A = this chain, B = another copy of it.
Amino acid sequence: MSIQTGKLPVMSLRYALLGLLHDCPATGYDLTQRFTQGMGRIAWNAKHSQIYPELHKLTEEGLIEVVAEGARGKRVYGPTEAGGAALREWLLREPEDGTVRNPLLLRVFMVGGLEPDDATQALERIQRYANEMVEELTETHARVTAETAEPPASAYAAMYGIYSYRAMQEWAKWAIEEQRKRVD
A residues with CB within 8 A of B: 10, 12, 15-16, 18-19, 22-23, 39-45, 84, 87-88, 90-92, 95, 97-114, 118, 122, 125, 129, 150-154, 156-157, 159-160, 163-164, 166-168, 170-171, 174-175, 178, 182
Across the interface, A45 reaches (CB within 8 A) one of B87, B92, B99, B175, namely B99
15 more contacts with CB within 8 A, not counting A45-B101, A95-B107, are A18-B113, A39-B109, A42-B109, A43-B109, A45-B100, A88-B113, A91-B113, A100-B103, A109-B157, A112-B151, A159-B171, A159-B175, A160-B168, A163-B170, A164-B168
Could you say which of B42, B106, B163 contacts A102, with CB atoms under 8 Å apart? B42
A-B contact pairs, 11 of them (CB 8 A): A16-B106, A41-B97, A43-B101, A43-B102, A44-B106, A45-B99, A97-B103, A100-B102, A105-B157, A109-B153, A109-B160
Report the bound CA distance from A118 to B154 in whole Å: 19
Partner of A12, one of B10, B43, B106, B108: B106
A145 to chain B minimum Cβ distance, whole angstroms, is: 10
What B residues does A150 contact at CB under 8 A?
112, 182
| 3 nearest CB pairs, A to B | A19-B110, A98-B103, A167-B167
A18 CB contacts on chain B under 8 angstroms: 113
If over half of A's interface residues share one DSSP class (helix, strand or loop), that class is named, otherwise mixed; here it is helix
Query: CA A43 – CA B152 in complex, angstroms?
Result: 26
Across the interface, do B44 and A153 meet the contact criterion of CB distance under 8 Å? no
- Indicate the member of A45, A112, A122, A175 with the most B CB atoms within 10 Å: A112
Query: Contacts A92-B118, A97-B104, A114-B91 hold; do A174 and B153 have CB atoms under 8 A apart?
Result: no
How many Å lie between the Cα of A157 and that of B44 in the bound state?
21
